[in-house]
Amino acid sequence: MTANRPNHTGLEGRIAELIVEPLEAQGYELVRVQIMGTESPTVQIMADRADNAAFTLDDCTAVSHLLSAVLDVEDPITSAWTLEVSSAGIDRPLTRTKDFVRYAGFEAKIELNFPGPGNRKRFSGVLVGADEESVQLKVEKGEVLNLKRADFKKAKLILTDALIAFSTPEAPLQ
């Protein structure tokens, strides 16, 4: 795992391994692989542009064509499946160290696989910092928790006016 790559396991991990290098070679970064459903699953891929520019519909199309070709050749899922490519959005999942660092100061929700501090699984607060091992989250009453990333079930930003302002490029002056 690196600061620029998410950590996946199981089939999602296998798919991530297959697609991360072709994605990066085309100027994109993998945010998340998620498989939904069992009979004919949907493989959801979230990506960003490596240059931090907005991820456009053209980017979705390019990534979809690229990954369709890669996954058709490698065939990691034996049954029929559907590929869905999207941007991570403003209230994005937090999967990489660089995401936690970039969005320090913004509100996030983190859910653990099993109870952590205070015997709780779910936490909301302001991101303070992160490294490869843990994330610091300032919760109500100002307490800063150090949460182990290996214990994360999921983490995502909370949509706020401040996050929208940060994520929306300024309009050019007329």
Number of structural domains in the chain: 2
Within-domain flag for 4: no
In whole angstroms, give the CA distance from residue 51 to residue 71: 25
User: How many Cβ atoms are within 10 Å of 133's Cβ, its own excluded?
Assistant: 10
pLDDT of res. 3: 63
**Which is nearest to 32 in space by CA: 14, 17, 47?**
47
Within-domain flag for 18: yes
Within-domain flag for 118: yes
Domain hosting residue 50, numbered range:
10-87
Task: pLDDT band for 155, please (50, 70, 90 cuts).
Answer: very high
pLDDT of res. 160: 93
Q: What is the pLDDT of residues 156-165, one digit of tens each?
A: 999 999 999 9
CATH of residue 145: 2.30.30.100
pLDDT higher than threshold 60 for residue 174: no
Q: What is the pLDDT of residues 72-129, one digit of tens each?
A: 998 888 888 999 999 998 999 999 999 999 999 999 999 999 999 989 999 999 999 9
pLDDT higher than threshold 60 for residue 171: no
Q: What is the pLDDT of residues 14-25, one digit of tens each?
A: 999 999 999 999
Within-domain flag for 143: yes
pLDDT of res. 95: 93
Q: Are residues 69 and 105 in the same domain?
A: no
CATH of residue 26: 3.30.300.70
pLDDT higher than threshold 50 for residue 1: no
| Separation of first and last alpha carbons in the chain | 44
Q: What percent of the chain shows pLDDT beyond 70?
A: 95
In the block, residue with structure tokens 């979705």: 60
Q: Are residues 77 and 131 in the same domain?
A: no
State pTM to two decimals: 0.84
In whole angstroms, give the CA distance from residue 18 to residue 152: 23
